[in-house]
Chain A
Amino acid sequence: MTTTAATPAERTRTADDLVVDVRGLVVAYGSFRAVDGVDLDVRRGEVFALLGTNGAGKTSTLEALQGFRPRAAGQVDVLGEDPKVSTRRIRAASGVMVQEAGFVPEATPVSALQLWASLSSRVDDVDAVLERVGLAHRRGVLVKDLSGGERRRLDLALAVWGAPDLIVLDEPTAGLDPESRATLWGLVRELRDGGTTVLMTTHHLEEAEQLADRVAIMHRGRIAVRGTLAEVLDQRPARITAVRRLAGRPDEQVDVRTHDLQGDLLTLLLDAQRTGAELHRLRATPASLDEVFHSVVRSTPEPSTAEEASR
């Protein structure tokens, strides 16, 4: 699997559309580099999913984008500003759903949102936002009495407040039930349709497949693969499976990995027609994100102790 970076041509073509532009980002904890030279670009109006295993460096990357995490090296632009310098201006234009953050236990969804509204330069309607995230019926319940999923919905309500230009969602569906997940997915699509750019991290591949216009797979602090979903999936071969049955002969298992799905499928069908064979349980499937993801993880060797220490 190849590590990819935006080409100069690609960068020139999209420079005016970049909402997030990261070059050579390094975030280090002591001698350990949690993020090790990451290039990232998120274009206006797209949903970009940063995938990776736990500890891949996704959250550290997002924290550097928000100015929370000092960077050891690299250049970061968010909405045209450096988060180290223009933290306030970036926050005024972006909404953030962090992976783990709490509320005052004595607050209610409505009082938490009213506080947020009073602090924000973005304008919105408390009742409408609670309705959008499906918390209207729980508006007066103490936060400490909300379920985990309901608290995540409240997280989301704060992030989408006032329809920011950029929304950063860190593992947004972690711990959510299917209904809450569907609500969130719907909201993300709605936001994108309204022109909001969404940068999300997830290790749920299905989520990325459902929502993302482009994805990047991060592993051991580096971006291993990135592109549109189709581009990423094209990096792994598609698969054709079948049972080939010919009179008087034992069944033959067909299992073909191919980068030319259409051509090889046609060849298989023509061969069957020519020989009079029957193809049972014929399946032709493109590579899944799951396969690409596992391929990235498998193809990256475990660092030696010395390497780990030097990182």
Chain B
Amino acid sequence: MSTLTTNARQRRTVTPAQRVLRLARFETQMLVKQRTTLLTLLSGPLAILFLVSVTPGGSPEALAALIGMGVVVVMAVTSHLAAVMLTVNRREAQVLKRLRTSELSSGELVAGMYLPLVVVGVVEAFAVLAVVVGRGGPLPDALGWAPWLAGVAIASVGFVAAGAAIAGMAGNAEKANWAAVPLLFLIAAAANMLTVPVLPEAMRQVLLLVPFTSAVDLLARTSSAGVGLVELPVVAGVVSPVLVDLALLLAWTAVSVWLARRLWRWEPRG
């Protein structure tokens, strides 16, 4: 049997991280050229940023809640929808099938393809924060930055994974867009309702269980205003409400990743 070094041809070492970043760079260039996806990535956030900027906030607590709601809704309409479209487009155009024949592992391929969308989600979260802070809203406090950033990063990954899962269920781009709408509305509605002060506490706790909605409470709670939207127990003085929010967010992200893996298809649906 011959060996892998049969031919004395030029070889070089390419690390997994390099492959992921190079594919991500290529995908970013392609995203800029895809007008529909670009429109989704820009128009949604701009509209929501506009709404956030004109929504009466008032107290620091209300503005902190606005940050949480704004970030989650922006991610739902951008990272999530863009992930649905990107996945279906790449799969139906058989680009995934092609890239599988490259030296990318399956994990590297998925990471490189979605990395730009995850980064866009994080950048948009900062855009929402900047707009609200510009209106006098609170920044996260010294202890709040780490969970705030963790929440934003996990939510961004989670929304992209949810988009990939939905794309796995849909046969083409049109069906995928329709399939994405119910979750989008559910999350947007729950995130909005959570910021309504007069809502009964029991309903708030139920809303917190809606996918990714705990991020609204987490981002509000970690601001310097420091007030949560939902009454959560502090267990033995150790498990803080922030950890409960993070755990819920992680759980939905894990469910989304699991579903995305289970429903994943490398080739067009027959």
Contacts and interface: CB of A to CB of B under 8 A. Distances in A.
Given A102-B98, A120-B102, A80 B2 contact: yes
A105 B31 CA distance: 11
A119 B22 contact: yes
Given A120-B14, A123-B11, A88 B105 contact: yes
B9 interface: yes
Interface in A52-85: 66, 68, 77, 79-81
Interface in B1-39: 1-4, 6-7, 9-14, 18-19, 22-23, 26, 29-30, 33-34
A115 B33 CA distance: 16
B269 interface: no
B4 A89 contact: yes
Contacts of A66: 101
Interface string B99-140: 011111100000000000000000000000000000000000
B94 interface: yes
A124 to B, nearest CB: 8
Contacts of A120: 14, 102-103
Interface string A152-182: 0000001000111100000000000000000
A80 B1 contact: yes
In this complex, the member of A89, A102, A116, A119 whose beta carbon has the largest number of chain B beta carbons within 10 angstroms is: A119
A121 B13 contact: yes
Given A98-B101, A111-B29, A123-B12, A104 B22 contact: no
A286 to B, nearest CB: 33
Interface stretch (A12-20, A253-261, A264-272): A12-20
Contact of B12 (A21, A77, A102, A121): A121
B9 A21 contact: no
Contacts, number: 116
A163 B9 contact: yes
Nearest to B266: A68
A39 to B, nearest CB: 15
Contacts of B4: 79-81, 89-90, 92-93, 165
Contacts of A100: 94, 97
Given A16-B1, A79-B4, A123-B10, A118 B97 contact: no
A91 B7 contact: no
A103 interface: yes
A79 B2 contact: yes
A195 interface: yes
A87 interface: yes
A115 B2 contact: no
B93 interface: yes
A122 interface: yes
18 contacts: A19-B1, A19-B6, A79-B4, A80-B1, A80-B4, A96-B101, A103-B98, A106-B33, A106-B34, A115-B22, A118-B22, A119-B22, A123-B9, A123-B10, A158-B98, A162-B9, A163-B7, A163-B9
Given A120-B102, A163-B7, 16 more contacts: A68-B100, A77-B1, A79-B4, A80-B2, A91-B101, A101-B97, A104-B90, A111-B26, A111-B29, A118-B14, A118-B19, A119-B22, A121-B13, A122-B9, A158-B102, A195-B7
